[in-house]
Copies of this chain bind each other. A is one copy, B any other.
C-alpha cells in the first residue's frame, strides 16, 4: 500500500528524501522532471539496505530459534532446517521468476508479467514505480526477504512430522502459486486489491493471513503428531524461543518501518507503532494469562510480542502510536484466545501459526480499518474512528478474499505434494525425530557418552 501511496503522491512529495531538490526549486526557474528526480538518496538507501538485512534476520536466526525452541529436542534441527532452506531455495525462485510474477507489469491485476525474469531490467538505478530514491535492486531484495519468511511461518503448523522432501515441494509450489500472486494483488502496480483501496502497509494479508490460513490447511491434512493428546510435548529450549522472539521484534523494525521505503517521518511512525504494539500485546497476553492461569509465563510474553507485531503490520504506517497501544493490547488478548481455537477444531497446529498469524493478521487488517488516519499518512485513508466506514468494509473484503484463496490454494497444493512425495514421515521416523530421520544429525551431544 505504501508503495502505491508513494507513487500517488508523485514527484513533488517524494521530496523529503531529496532536500536539495526542494531547496533548489525555490532558486531555479527550471522545473525538474520526474526522471531527473529519480536519483538515489544515500540515506534512504542506507536504511533500506539495513531493513533488507533485518528481514532476513527474522527468518534465521529469528524464526528458526523461535520455532526451534518450541519443538522437542529430537526435532529442533528439522525445524531450523526448514527456515534455513527457505532462505536458500526461495531466493533463487525469487530472482529467477518470483519477483517478476509479483512485481512485473500487471496482467489484469492478477499476476505480474515476465519482464523481470532473471532480474532483467532490475539494476542499480531506481524503479520510480515502486521506490524512486533507492536502487531497484534494493527494492527487489527487500521484497525477496518477505517472500522467504512467509512460507517459513507455515512450517510451524506441520512441525515434527512432515518429511523434508514434502516441505520442499510444497514450499516451492506455495510460493509460486500463492505468495507471488498475493503480493501482486496487494502491492503490484495495478494489483486488484491495491486498486480496491485496501490498506496493508507491511503485509498483514500477504504475509500473515496467507501463511496463517495455509497453516490451518496443512495441519488438517497432515494430521496430529503421534502421541498428541497423550504425551506431553513441552518446548525443549525456551531461552531459544525468547531469543527468537526478541530477534523477530528487532527485525520487524526493518519489516514495518522499512516498508516506508525511505528514512523519513513515515518510517519513524511505523517504527514507533511497531514497537508500541509489540510492547502492548506482551502486556495484554501476560495480563490475561495472569488473570486466567494465575501466572504470567515467559512463553506467553514471547507469544504476545509476536502477536502484537503481527497485528500492527498492516496498519503500522497508517495509525498513531496511541492507536497502536489499543491494537497491541487487544491483539495480545485476541491471540491468547486464538490459539485455543485449535482445541475445538481438533487440529494439531503444533506451534500455533493459525492462532497467532491468521487470527492476529485478521485483527490487524480490521484494526487498520478502524484506526487508520490520513493525519498519519496522507496517502492512506480514514478508518471508522475517523469517519470512514468504507475502509473497514474494504479491509473485510480483502481479508475474506485472502482467506478463501489461500486456504483453497494451500489445500490443493498439499494434495498435489502428498500425491507426489507423501506429506508425512514414517512412524519410526517420527519417533526417532526428524533430526535423525531426515538429516542424520543430532542437535546436542552434551554428555560424555558418544551416543
Report A's interface with B, CB cutoff 8 A.
16-24, 27-28, 39-47, 49-50, 52-54, 56-57, 60-61, 64-65, 68, 72-73, 76-77, 80-81, 84-85, 87-89, 91-92, 95, 118-119, 123-125, 134-135, 137-138, 140-141, 144, 164, 231-232, 234-240, 242-243, 245-247, 249-250, 253, 257, 262-269, 271-272, 275-276, 278-280, 282-283, 286, 293, 295-299, 301-302, 304-305, 320-322, 325, 435, 438-446, 450
Contact = CB atoms under 8 A, between A and B. Distances in A.
- Determine how many copies of this chain the complex contains: 3
A263 B49 contact: yes
In the A-B complex, the 5 residue pairs with the smallest Cβ-Cβ separation, listed nearest first, are A42-B43, A124-B265, A91-B279, A88-B282, A43-B43
A268 to B, nearest CB: 4
A325 B27 contact: no
A132 B267 CA distance: 17
30 contacts: A16-B42, A17-B42, A42-B42, A42-B262, A43-B43, A43-B46, A46-B46, A46-B50, A47-B50, A49-B50, A49-B257, A49-B263, A53-B253, A57-B250, A65-B243, A73-B446, A84-B242, A85-B282, A87-B279, A87-B305, A88-B279, A89-B283, A124-B269, A125-B265, A135-B264, A138-B271, A235-B445, A236-B444, A237-B239, A298-B435
Contacts of A72: 445
B87 A239 contact: no
B238 A77 contact: yes
Nearest to A231: B450
Nearest to A22: B39
A49 B439 contact: no
A289 to B, nearest CB: 10
A68 B239 contact: yes
Contacts of A293: 440
Contact of A43 (B54, B73, B263): B263
Given A76-B239, A124-B268, A268-B135, A302 B84 contact: yes
A236 B442 CA distance: 9
A91 B276 contact: yes
A255 to B, nearest CB: 11
Contact of A296 (B18, B264, B325, B439): B439
Given A61-B242, A73-B446, A295-B440, 20 more contacts: A24-B27, A27-B28, A41-B42, A43-B263, A45-B47, A46-B50, A47-B49, A56-B250, A60-B242, A84-B302, A87-B249, A87-B278, A124-B266, A125-B265, A134-B268, A138-B271, A144-B275, A239-B443, A295-B439, A297-B440
Contact of A40 (B46, B60, B123, B265): B265
A39 B234 CA distance: 53
Contacts of A64: 242-243, 246
A81 B298 contact: yes
Contacts of A435: 298
Contacts of A245: 84
A290 to B, nearest CB: 9
A301 to B, nearest CB: 5
Given A138-B268, A239-B68, A272-B140, A84 B298 contact: yes
